Amino acid sequence: MAIARAVRSPYGNRSIRTYSRDGALVQEKRAEIVRSACHVFITKGYDGTSMRDLAKFLGKSTGAFYHYIGAKKDILYLILDFTVTNQEEFVNRMRDSIRDMTAAEAIKEAVRIYLESFEEHADMHVFVNHVMVKLGRNDRQMMLGAAQRVSDFFEELLQKGMQDGEFRESDTRMLAQNIVVLGNSWVNRRWYWKKYFTLDQYTKGQTEILLNAITAVAHA
């Protein structure tokens, strides 16, 4: 007999109902559901999408769908969780790997990895941008906190470069947020960027513009 269980989402304090006992399978199926759901949500809108629409898009029965997810709202929570976890992991991973680099090298490497993660989860980032305005206070705070930690990470890098004399005096808060915007812009305006630039060209070009703006100089 199927027993309803709750598998905790990786972040936050919500439990989401499943009828499966296989934790790894639940994670895998949910990741697949989340990926497709974001695609459907950004075209039909979150409110305009039914569980039936999602099941149909995935080529599954609604029953098979409810095996892993309790309700549409659960998918939204999974997406928020995933985004937050993703940003945490990015910062932790980067802090380790850039330890011995100059500030300019560290910025280059961090921007590259950051933009790659936007490319990998493009639909998710677009959807999260859209849904931000609908979130309740707690969810919104959680999302803003995660975004702030990424921004803080880039700001530290910029400040280190300024202290080392590698970068000129600049508004590091604004520059750090501009780096965050580079990722969002890549996915939100992909209809434009992808006409003219590959991700690699975008990364190299934007990094060059950024370093031109901040590298210590004597004007000609």
Q: Which residues bind its own copies (CB under 8 A)?
A: 42-48, 126, 129-130, 132-134, 144, 147, 151, 168, 170-171, 173-175, 177-178, 181, 184-185, 188-189, 191-193, 196-197, 202, 205-206, 208-210, 212-220
Residue 35's Cβ-count burial label (10 Å; 0-12, 13-18, 19+) is: middle
Residues 6+ apart with CB under 8 A from 62: 51, 52, 55
In angstroms, what is the minimal distance from the CB of 113 to its own copies?
A: 20
* Residue 15, helix vs strand vs coil: strand
In angstroms, what is the minimal distance from the CB of 213 to its own copies?
A: 4
CB-nearer residue toward its own copies: 10 or 205:
205
- Return d(Cα 125, Cα 97) in angstroms, integer: 24
In angstroms, what is the minimal distance from the CB of 154 to its own copies?
A: 13
CB-nearer residue toward its own copies: 117 or 170:
170
In angstroms, what is the minimal distance from the CB of 202 to its own copies?
A: 8
* Residue 8, helix vs strand vs coil: strand
In angstroms, what is the minimal distance from the CB of 5 to its own copies?
A: 32
In angstroms, what is the minimal distance from the CB of 8 to its own copies?
A: 28
* Residue 191, helix vs strand vs coil: helix
CB-nearer residue toward its own copies: 69 or 126:
126
CB-nearer residue toward its own copies: 154 or 202:
202
Q: Which two tokens stand for residue 91?
A: 């910062």
CB-nearer residue toward its own copies: 26 or 183:
183
Closest CA to 20 of 8, 4, 34: 4
CB-nearer residue toward its own copies: 25 or 209:
209
- 41-44 CB contacts, 8 Å cutoff, 24+ apart: 41/127, 41/130, 41/131, 42/123, 42/126, 42/127, 42/130
CB-based contact 77:12 (threshold 8 Å) = yes
